[in-house]
Amino acid sequence: MSSCRSSSTSAARLLALAVAAAGCGNPRVPVATAPAPARVAVFPTVNVGGGPAPGEELDRGVEGIVAGAGLEVVPRPVLEDFLARHRVRNTAGVDAETARAAREELGVDAVVLVSVGAYQPQAPPRLAVTLRLVSTGEPPRILWIDGAVRAGDEQPGLLGLGVIRDPARVQRIVLDRLGRSLRAYLRGGARAGTCEPERRFGPRLVFRSPRLGEGPFKVAVLPFVNETRRRSAGDAAALELVRQLSASPAVEVVEPGVVRSVLLENRLIMPGGVSLDVASTVLDKLDADLVVAGIVRRYEDGGGASSDAARVELAVQVLDRAHEVVAWSSVSQGDGGSGVWWFDLGRVQNSADLLCRVAASVVDRMDLEVARGSGGADATPQRSRLTGSLRRVHGAP
């Protein structure tokens, strides 16, 4: 691969390991088990927060942390020309055709996708960003995904001295968190952290099949139905489930761009939610084990008043391909003011932050596991195969 020749950094030396994991043909390789690539294209930011979107300074900031992690970034003019020539209008995901073109024409081994879940430039500023690294192999696979949220009034401290009023400073804090996570992945394939599941935000109504303890699983997350008045709430919820599921060693999540291409190619629409026919088609086309779908019924930020907290209502359903049954069903009603009694400690006023906690609690209750005796549970043979691939690419014996 041409990009392997151009870099001598530690990230570049680990390049072949990630590419081998993404392209070895094994659909059960868990996310983030291998380090990441050395040359990447940072696609333009996508706004899934429903409000205003930050300008080009966020794109430049993301390019900065990616380059600071030791990766080579495709120059912005070259990328813009590529996107225009291939008429790539939706940069929320990467399908197989776009990934192949990027690999052949730009010489990249992966694409960095940037999603903004919340942005408020006026005081108190708020910003929520999710980054994911997607290989350009066949098929494209998620190598790493993480998110960070920060509000200026998140930690007011004594007499409000800790309140941040500068949106640029909030952006630096968010990108610094993501940069540390990316560097940890590059150093050794560390999985990104997720929100801690909290009992107060856990699902109220739950059905769980014992089948979820028989992994590993290949999972496709469909776009969520948005029943709120907030634009893109369904996209935000689906992306957050992708992030939380990707942290499980029992799960490989299909790249959302690949899922979207299957829906478009087969003219599948879900105006009122996922049907068994839609789920069956997606599962067959993607060779997935489970399909996740859901509905967002409420997605609201908290106001300035201390008594006004964020609220999220989310219904999630998982369909099992092998048994053609519902493997999971839940309804969550997250209230950022729940369980808060003294001095507003623990109150959540940012809907993106609350969505992360609600989604983490849902995935935690799913309790996805690798079955005993499953080949996916033993990572040692896989590491050996990947190490061999790394040596072959670099010409070592």
| Residue 371 within any structural domain of the chain | no
- Are 181 and 54 in a shared domain? yes
pLDDT at 160: 59
- Are 65 and 8 in a shared domain? yes
DSSP 286: H
Q: Which of 92-96, 142-146, 284-288 has the lowest mean pLDDT?
A: 284-288
- Residue pair 203/362 in contact by the 8 Å Cβ criterion: yes
**Using CA atoms, how far apart are residues 382 and 388, in angstroms rounded to an integer?**
10
pLDDT band at 218 (very low <50, low <70, confident <90, very high): very high
- Are 189 and 258 in a shared domain? no
Each residue's pLDDT tens digit, 43-56: 999 999 888 888 78
- Are 266 and 159 in a shared domain? no
Identify the domain containing residue 380 by its residue range: 2-193+376-393
Domain total for the chain?
Answer: 2
pLDDT at 191: 80
**Using CA atoms, how far apart are residues 295 and 286, in angstroms rounded to an integer?**
22
Q: Which of 66, 392, 17 is nearest to 188 (CA)?
A: 17
Percent of the chain scored above 70 by pLDDT?
77
Residue 303: which residues within 8 A CB-CB, separation 6 or more?
Answer: 349
| Residue 186 within any structural domain of the chain | yes
How many helices and strands (H and E) does the chain possess?
11, 13
- Are 361 and 251 in a shared domain? yes
CATH of residue 33? 3.40.50.10610
Q: Which of 36-45, 126-135, 246-255, 310-319 has the lowest mean pLDDT?
A: 36-45
For the whole model, what pTM was predicted?
A: 0.83
- Are 270 and 389 in a shared domain? no
Question: Above 90 in pLDDT, residue 258?
Answer: yes
